Structure formats: structure tokens, C-alpha cells
Amino acid sequence: MKRLGVVLLFLAIMTGCSATQEPKAAKPEVPKVMLTNKFQLQTATLHLSELIDAEPSYHTEKELQELLNMQLKRLLENKKLLTEDKRANTLVITVNYERRFVGDKTPIPSSALAYPSYAYAIDVMDHDKLLTKATQKKKSFKGGLAMSKQVITKALNDKRYENTFINALARDIVKSIQALQ
């Protein structure tokens, strides 16, 4: 009798109480949005933040924004995704760029660059109407072995290194734009 009880208990545990379980809700369907094959590019807006004000002169927020816009335009033109046609959808891009320094979250920060963090939103507009949106939550740039050594040794102490960071950010944004199509 004990054996039968154990078997029934085992079966009840294995099968669960399927009669009381609610069926899984179907995933809501995301409506497909028809986008133009090419886009107009509105000036991408970049907001710069940093935890410390470092001694060396790095790119200003305006300079970083200009670098980003030049790189985005070049990459989109290379991918044949850019047009001046007023009927095309418009890309509205907003970037939050956090400049980081080695030790900036410690009592003894340096003025050498560390890998930045960024987040962005891409709105695809049809005149004043939002068609779709792509967002990237906070993400950190990761360089290769050589650059990681430079970060560790505090050797990234010139604003020219930020060009590498901005170029990588622009490539990431363009990948997100391509994924919208």
C-alpha cells in the first residue's frame, strides 16, 4: 500500500496540477511597419556626461556630436541607406555618452580615458508620426587586447582616442538601423 501511495505521489508531482494551470498567454503581435528603403538623417543629438572634470582637454560635447554625425552619414551612405528625398522616413537619433576615466569612481581618479558607456534611441518618423523606435540601453565599449593594456596603464590620455569610441558607437547605431528594415 505504501508503494502505491509513493507511486501516486510521484506521478502527481511529475505531471503537476495541469487542470489548475492557466494556459500561457500568446505573445502580442507587433504590427509590421512599412519603412522606406532609404532614410533622411536628422542631426543626431549627443549628450555628454562625465563623473570628473579631467585636466587634459578632450572633445567637447559639440565636437563629439559633430564626429558622430559625420561618421553616421558616411556609414549610411556606404550602406546606401541615405537619401535627400523628402518622402523618405526620417531618423531622429539621441545618444547619451558617458565619458569615463580610469579610477573615476574612486577617491583617486586619473585623467586617462577608460572605456565609455553609451545608450541611444532611434526614432523613425514619417513627418510628425513615429513609425517605430529602436533603443539600446546602457552599453560599454570594449576594445581589444592592445587598447585594454593602454587603459590599464593609463595611456589613453589624448582626445584622438575618443575617435575610436565614436566610430564604434556609429557602427552600432547603423546596425540597429539596418535591423529595423
- Per-residue pLDDT tens for 87-125? 999 999 999 999 999 998 888 889 899 999 999 999 999
Give the pLDDT confidence score for residue 19 in this predicted structure.
39
pLDDT of amino acid 44: 96
**Cell, residue 2:** 505504501
Residue 14 lies in a domain: no
Q: Does pLDDT of 4 surpass 60?
A: no
Is residue 17 in some structural domain?
no
3 inside domain: no
Residue 23 placed within a domain: no
Residue 58 placed within a domain: yes
Identify the CATH number of the domain in which residue 169 sits.
3.30.160.150
> How many CA atoms lie within 13 Å of 37's alpha carbon, on the beta-carbon side?
2
pLDDT tens digits, residue range 25-66?
A: 444 444 467 888 999 999 999 999 998 887 668 999 999 999
| Residues of the domain holding 88 | 31-180
| CA–CA separation, 159 and 139 (whole Å) | 21
Please give the full DSSP string across 32-75, using - where no structure is assigned: P----SSEEEPPPEEEEEESS--SS----HHHHHHHHHHHHHHH
- Of 155, 170, 144, 143, which is closest to residue 56 (Cα–Cα)? 155
Q: What are phi and psi of 86, to 5 degrees?
A: -65, -15
**Residue 116 domain-assigned?**
yes
Counting the structural domains of the chain, the total is 1
On whether residue 115 sits in a domain, the answer given is: yes
- Residue 81 in any domain: the answer is yes
Q: What pLDDT does 30 receive?
A: 40
Give the pLDDT confidence of 136-176 residue by residue, as tens digits: 999 998 888 989 899 988 888 888 899 999 999 999 999 99
Please report which confidence band the pLDDT of residue 68 belongs to, taking 50, 70 and 90 as the band edges.
very high
Let me know: does 148 contact 112? Beta carbons within 8 Å: no
Band (pLDDT 50/70/90 cuts) for residue 2 is low
CA distance 46 to 118: 10
